[in-house]
Amino acid sequence: MSLTYFNASGSSPLQVVPPGISDDRIFSLDVLRGLALLGILVISIGEFGGFITNQQIFYRTGTHGGNYKLLTAVSILFEGKMRALFALVFGAGIILFLQKKEHPVDISNADAYIRRQMWLMFFGIFNAFVLLWPGDILFQYGVVGILLFAFYGMKTRGLFICAIICMLIYCGKQYWNFTDDKKTYKKYVAVTVVEKKFKADSLSRAKKDSIDKTKDSVLFKDTLLKNKLNDSIARKNDTLTKKQAEEKGAWEGLSKEMKYDSTKTESENKSMRASYLKVWTHLMGRSQYKESFWLYRIGVWDIGSMMLWGMALFSLGFFSSRFASSKYLIIGLIPLITGLALAWLRIKWGDERLMDFTKYIEKSSLPHNLFFPIERLLMATGYASLVLWLLRMGIFNWLWKALAAAGKMAFTNYILQSIFCTFFFYGYGFGYFGRLQQWELYFVVVEIALVQIVFSVFWLRYYTMGPLEWLWRCLIYKKRLPIKKLPSTNH
């Protein structure tokens, strides 16, 4: 292992770089970005390939065989953690960008940064509404990145505090959603009480009518006619109001979502194996929801907490090998073990929720995913620290070089993942949506990862950055910039 000392951010950090690497970037950030980029695909491949929530419910409420174990392992190790790691690295990149000493044109750091984020939002919209990937994160990163611009000058302690506050608000949002479900259930119970009263009243009237019909005397005829009129009015009143019907339907709909329904899978497969226009129409609502409602209600806290955490770690010198190797190992293991324990509890409680949703709502005082924001922050930090420790140890240098190449071209590779997956799975391409088993989807992930790593390594032999990274920079600075490496810098 060799150590290269260079000034990447104006603060003269010590940077761990494997032999054969010479760069003015922070190598560890490229490695972590590449790891997160490929890790995100492990989760997103399910939505790309048709392994939708409905099918996951089937495995979670079934026999708990091999498919269940695979699904559980992926959820514990990857779900939320890779996006968190990607946001963490993005947060570090915010400070790195704003500390730039020079730009290709005469522009302030602030102006260049805002342009950078706005163009990122544009690419996110393109990814969601043209490439048809409703799981896009670029638009969200662009929006949250602009909001975090005001935090740039904050001290390290302040950044950590703000990150924790955002994380706790995210936990609060999880609890908020849980209490909304409880309220929905209470309203449903109240409606069922009214329905039981209607049923009892109806039974009482039926008994009374049978007695009246046995009485033929003239004396009872007027009374019988009067009772019939009253009964018709009573029956009319013995129906649910529109509001009560909506409250009952809300819970029944929510409860139905927790159960496997084969027709949902069939309907989804049919819609996603159709033409581009039909797929676009089918996914439009999801993309709008993710880029608007979810972002402003949940995403800003989800993404913001991790970006702030990354900014704080960068300010602390975490990514520039400031700490001793033993400290990186400790920082890696303790959060990982704690995060794994929280993930196991989330899966356990989540399974109980699916097995009997009504009992879960009645008996539980806390939601199954309350600690998910803490779980992902701990595990993302643990992953990052272990990678930094391995870099210090000089272990798997070939792997870090490969991941760094993919990470240096993360923007290009992220969009390429959308192109590859949508064309392979959607109906206007090869139409493999819903045709592969869960384990087969992960083989697709491995194949795409290998292709992207090889492509990135070879591309960077001749060019200084990825093609979309270059386009992004040209748009930011409104100038055509060089991309080819000088002959003397080719390796």
pTM: predicted TM-score of the whole model, two decimal places: 0.88
Which residues does 222 contact at the CB level (< 8 Å), separation at least 6?
Answer: none
What separation in angstroms does the CA of 470 have from each of 19, 27, 457? 27, 19, 16
Amino acid residing at 347:
I
404 vs 382: CA distance, rounded Å: 19
| Residue with the two structure tokens 């890696």 | 332
Determine contact, residues 82/469, Cβ cutoff 8 Å.
no
Determine contact, residues 426/132, Cβ cutoff 8 Å.
yes
- The whole-number pLDDT of residue 440 equals 97
Determine contact, residues 343/377, Cβ cutoff 8 Å.
no
Of 47-61, 189-203, 281-295, where does mean pLDDT reach its minimum? 189-203
- Reported as a pLDDT band with limits 50, 70 and 90, residue 479 is very high
Reported as a single tens digit per residue, the pLDDT across 221-250 is 555 555 555 555 445 456 788 888 899 999
- The whole-number pLDDT of residue 454 equals 97
Mean pLDDT to the nearest integer, 205-215: 56
427 is written with which tokens? Answer: 């109906």
Q: Which of 282, 300, 294, 283 is nearest to 127 (CA)?
A: 283
Q: Which of 20, 14, 4 is nearest to 400 (CA)?
A: 20
DSSP notation for 259-297: S--HHHHHHHHHHHTS-HHHHHHHHHHHHHHHHTHHIII
Torsion on CA atoms 360, 363, 368, 370, rounded to nearest 10? 140
